[in-house]
Amino acid sequence: MNYKNISRKIYHNLFFRLFLLVGFTIILTVFIIRQDWIHVFFGGIGWLFSLLFLRNLYKQNARKVAFMFDAIDNSDYAFKYATQGHSSDDALVSNSLNRITQILFQAKAEAAQKEKYYELIMDSVNTGIIVLDDQGYIFQTNKEALRLIGLSVFTHVKQLHRIDANLEEIMRDIRPGEKHQLSLSNERGTVYLSIRVSGMTLQKKHVRIIAINDINRELDEKEIDSWIRLTRVLTHEIMNSITPITSLSETLLSMHEDVNKDIRNGLETISTTGKSLISFVESYRKFTHIPVPNPSLFYVGKFLERMIQLARHQNDYPQIKIQMHIEPADLILYADENLITQVVLNLLKNAMQAIGGEREDGLIQVKAYCNEEEAVLIEISNNGPVIPAEEIEHIFVPFFTTKEGGSGVGLSVSRQIMRLSGGSITLKSGITTKQTTFTLTFP
């Protein structure tokens, strides 16, 4: 349909009606001047009908336009003016108004689609975004921002007071161009945040766009990289020094079998200690030579059942009860099964050793589930002695151990594996819960 032609037809039609009204007005004026009252009477009737027709046409179309804008204002785009069974003039107007409604509906649909598109982009980034005005009211947030600050609904900065007063103050007072860093504690432990802000005018109101980043991962990666470099240097130097000593002591023992007993004992001690030290150093090489993960899909339930059987076989604690709960039962994980095996077995072994062989009510709980962000979480809890707060912050540090004869490499290797797998490992230990829980998170 050519809407330009429709508009032109409407214009000419109205022009014709106006021409009739003007014509009747001129004729009526002439008859009045001539005092031809009979023709004035009939001419007046024609003029009045022409005026009433234009008035009714105007009121009818005005009502149509007003109704259309009321419906649009109420977001009602379902209505449509009938075009059948009406005059050609009315059909032309109805078609034009229907076309306007359709154009506005398409424009609104496109705007809503773009808004949804931008929301999906915001929810996909790893940076928390908060848009707020100078009074502290929140215009918009994304999922990452809510996760970082620990809120499910965020409408005003005053809500932050119950989480961290310092965070509330920063969010309230920070101005465009400023940067801040702070730490806060929540159920995920201590979180280190980097906050940056920029400003703009939105709907004639000044707003601030705050970007929040979790720098825990960045700090962890730098710390791990530092430990890896240090461990590589130490193992290299120790191996270069110990290997020749061990080799020389074995050579001397083989060359002089009738050597003095004290000398033999000394050489054997040197050889045994050297081998033990070499084995000790080799364990630390695991920390620096973890293979690149080769992920695949596997069922979490069957995997954990196998891990529990292996842990029971490798550690003799028959009195410890192990409970397992998987939700949903067919939960699937995408990760390197061989590497994750090392992590889970190490956590189960640590849990068994923490409980010990003398406690009769020993309990280990293994849970696996999906959170709101669709990440897979595996929790391994035990009711053994809780880990003191002063030890928790060092528990993942290489070489740190509280067990006699421990190497202090198990948990640091586990953290490294989880980091390479794109996930994380966290610890929660408290006197109130009387439990120690390690959580593996796979985004």
CATH, residue 164: 3.30.450.20
Same structural domain, 327 and 424? yes
Residue 172 belongs to a domain: yes
Last residue of a domain, one of 263, 288, 313: 288
Tell whether 378 is covered by a domain: yes
Cβ atoms within 10 Å of 391's Cβ, excluding its own: 13
- pLDDT tens readout for residues 345-382: 989 998 898 888 777 888 999 999 998 878 899 999 99
Query: Is the domain of 270 the same as that of 154?
Result: no
Q: Mark whether 271 and 300 lie in a shared domain.
A: no
CA-to-CA dists, residue 60 to 17, 87, 88, 133, angstroms: 16, 13, 14, 45
251 shares its domain with 377: no
**Measured between alpha carbons, how far is 316 from 95 in angstroms, rounded to an integer?**
85
Candidate ranges 13-22, 157-166, 399-408; pick with highest mean pLDDT: 157-166
- 321 and 438 belong to one structural domain: yes
Q: Are residues 100 and 139 in the same domain?
A: no
Cα–Cα distance measured from residue 435 to residue 433, given in angstroms and rounded to the nearest whole number: 5
Q: Are residues 186 and 270 in the same domain?
A: no
In a domain, 350, yes or no: yes
3-state secondary structure string across 286-324: HHHCCCCCCCEEEEHHHHHHHHHHHHHHHCCCCCCEEEE
121 in any annotated domain: no
What CATH code is carried by the domain that includes residue 366?
3.30.565.10
Query: Residue 235: helix, strand or coil by DSSP?
Result: helix
Burial class (CB within 10 angstroms; exposed 0-12, middle 13-18, buried 19+) of 274: buried
- Number of domains observed in the structure of the chain: 4
Of 261, 288, 315, the residue that ends a domain is: 288
Which of 288, 317, 345 corresponds to the end of one domain?
288
Contact, 384 vs 356, CB < 8 A?
yes
CA angle 240, 243, 249 (to 5 degrees): 140
Whether residue 233 sits in one domain with residue 109 = no
27-69 per-position pLDDT tens digit: 667 667 777 677 666 666 766 666 666 666 667 667 777 777 7
Q: Which residues pair with residue 430 across a beta bridge?
A: 435
11 within a domain of the structure (yes/no): yes
Do both 325 and 437 map to the same domain?
yes
In a domain, 20, yes or no: yes
Interstrand relation of 435-442 and 376-382 (parallel, antiparallel or unpaired) = antiparallel
The answer on 428 and 307 residing in a single domain is yes
How high does pLDDT run on average in the chain?
A: 76
The parent domain of residue 10 ranges over 3-115
Tokens 């009406």 map to which residue? 86
Averaged pLDDT, 1-12: 49
Place of tokens 């005003």: 156
CA distance 343 to 351: 12
For 129-163, the pLDDT digits (tens) are 888 888 889 888 888 888 888 888 888 989 888 88
Residue range 218-235: mean pLDDT, rounded: 62
- The whole-number average pLDDT for the span 195-205 is 83
Statement to judge: residues 32 and 100 lie in one domain? yes
- Reduce the DSSP state of residue 75 to 3 states and report it: coil
The token duo for 137 is: 């009211």
Q: What is the pTM of this model?
A: 0.49
Q: How far apart are CA 163 and CA 56, in angstroms?
A: 65
Structural domain includes residue 120: no
User: Of the spans 16-25, 29-38, 245-254, 390-399, which averages the highest pLDDT?
Assistant: 245-254
**DSSP letter for each residue of 159-216:** GGGGT-HHHHHHHHH--TT-EEEEEEEETTEEEEEEEEEEEEEETTEEEEEEEEEE-H
Q: Quick check: is 97 in a domain? A: yes
Amino acid symbol at 7: S
Q: Nearest Cα to 426, choosing from 413, 437, 410, 417?
A: 437
Cis peptide bond prior to 244, omega within 30° of 0: no
If asked whether residues 228 and 210 sit together in one domain, one would say no
